[in-house]
Amino acid sequence: MPDRTLQLVLHYDGARFAGWQRQRDARTVQGELEAVLARLCGAPVAVLGAGRTDAGVHARGQAAGVRVDGKWTAERLRRAMNALLPDDVWVAAAHEMQPAFHARFDATARRYAYHVGTDDAAHSPFRRSHEWAVDRPLDRALLDAAAALLLGEHTFRGFAVKGTAPPDDHHRCIVHEARWREREGGLAFEVEANRFLHHMVRFLVGTMIDIGLGKRPPEDLPRLLAAGDNSEVSPPAPARALFLDAVRYPAHLYLTRA
């Protein structure tokens, strides 16, 4: 029976992980998935993620590609993996894909959400592991205006970690959606783009929060969008409140949807 190429849609709580990518001496999401697949398949199985999430970052829609023996249908593999995975990782869905599917290079967009707590209960131990508690009042109009400036195509060198992209990378991203919305106990920043640079969302949130608090003037954001480096950006927002919510792929790559 020929091999199957499957896409796994993953939820995970990043609090106890040293990020996505496997590491020799640290617990990672990729490492946990590959350990379970090796048990199920009797041989090593590589798990290719749509992107790497940093230590502490969560996911509600990370995508990963695997190639397994044809006896594993998408749903059968999903159930088997969930029976063995630790309680902070869950395969929410599995889809059979075209054999040439590549989880990283075939992605057309990724979507993130960042949660900011603005009420006193944001300091609760049941919330502070997944939110950034901001105690001072935020100017919502300034936040909305800043988010609107991100739409479209820009060079995000001013909002990326230096040296993490190849020297010839243009650092340009096309932002399809960027908005702040009300959520219980605070706000969420939601952003979708064709690609993201290392720490880009966290740098954006950190800078916008400083603008919303009156620590920076609103005109700093367009100036940073034109900057050649990140020397003047605000510190990145904490990783614990960032969620990878979705990865988009062209419809023709799907053979089945579970």
H-type alpha helices, 124-238: 140-149, 200-212, 220-225
Rounded to whole angstroms, the Cα distance separating 118 from 28 reads 31
24: CB partners within 8 A, 6+ apart: none
CA dist., res. 142 & res. 218, Å (int): 7
Neighbours of 26 (CB within 10 A): 12
**Cα 99 from chain centroid?**
25
Torsions phi, psi for 83 (to 5 deg)? -75, -20
Q: Please list the residues that pair with 90 across neighbouring strands.
A: 11
CB 225 within 8 A of CB 156: yes
For the chain, state the CA radius of gyration. 19
> Would you name the residues annotated as active-site residues?
54
